Amino acid sequence: MRVVIVEDNTILAEGLKLLLETGGHTVAAVLGDAEGLLGAVDEHSPDVVIADVRLPPAYREEGLRAAIDARRARPGLPILVFSQYVEEVYASELFADGARGVGYLLKDRVARVEEFLDALTRVAAGGTAMDPEVVGQLLTRRKRPLSRLTPRERDVLALMAEGRDNTEIAERLVVTDGAVHKHIGRIFSKLGLADGDTGHRRVRAVLAYLGT
């Protein structure tokens, strides 16, 4: 897996590079700001980009903006962004911009090596990875909750937003795969998602959950 890292904290950037290279991946470039991301993507054709949301010079949303621009220039480019805090608008905007192959983690989650690598692998494969704390805060902050869903269906949808597949959801909720399949079918029906590609409907359900 070829990776481009965008992180201005040298210690964190080098730690990520060492972690990935030790795992057999190739770090094609390490950038200290967002300015050179488009050029790095053109030059190295990475399988995934890891970017901090807040980067120089203003330390606001430079990393996220650069990531979204990179996805527009190269549709489907997998992006995993991380931030120190839950930033609801940023999370929603990222998932609204194509949704497939995107992830949003808190920096504390990045320090949990197995969870981070699992999220990165899912994003690079075109899946989603959303930090459970982000999911939880989005759920409590929503002004218009998904009232048509039962509490169990909302639990299932929250785990879908984290990027979990049916088997993982079943394990988390201690139910059968068949029960998860039925819950997801009811979620699709209640959200008015017509029959079609199941993966695409999962993405659309997550977007509905995020309120985008």
pLDDT in tens, 38-78: 999 999 999 999 999 888 888 888 888 898 889 888 888 99
pLDDT, greater one: 21 or 109: 21
Inside any domain, residue 137: no
- 31 within domain boundaries: yes
pLDDT of residue 96: 65
Looking up residue 97, the CATH number of its domain turns out to be 3.40.50.2300
53, two tokens: 């949301």
Q: What is the pLDDT of residue 135?
A: 66
Rounded to an integer, the average pLDDT of 154-158 is 87
Number of domains in the chain: 2
- What pLDDT band is residue 143 in, cutting at 50, 70 and 90? very low
Q: Tens digits of per-residue pLDDT, 12-33? A: 999 999 999 999 999 999 999 9
127 and 181 fall within a common domain? no
In this structure, are 36 and 127 located in the same domain?
yes
Cis check for the bond before 57: say yes or no (omega within 30 of 0).
yes
For position 139, what pLDDT does the model report? Answer: 56
Distance CA 39, CA 37 (A): 5
Contacts of 114 (CB under 8 A, 6+ apart): none
- Residue 136 in any domain: the answer is no
Domain hosting 38: range is 2-131
User: Each residue of 166-179: pLDDT tens digit?
Assistant: 999 999 999 999 99
Question: Which tops the pLDDT comparison, 85 or 22?
Answer: 22
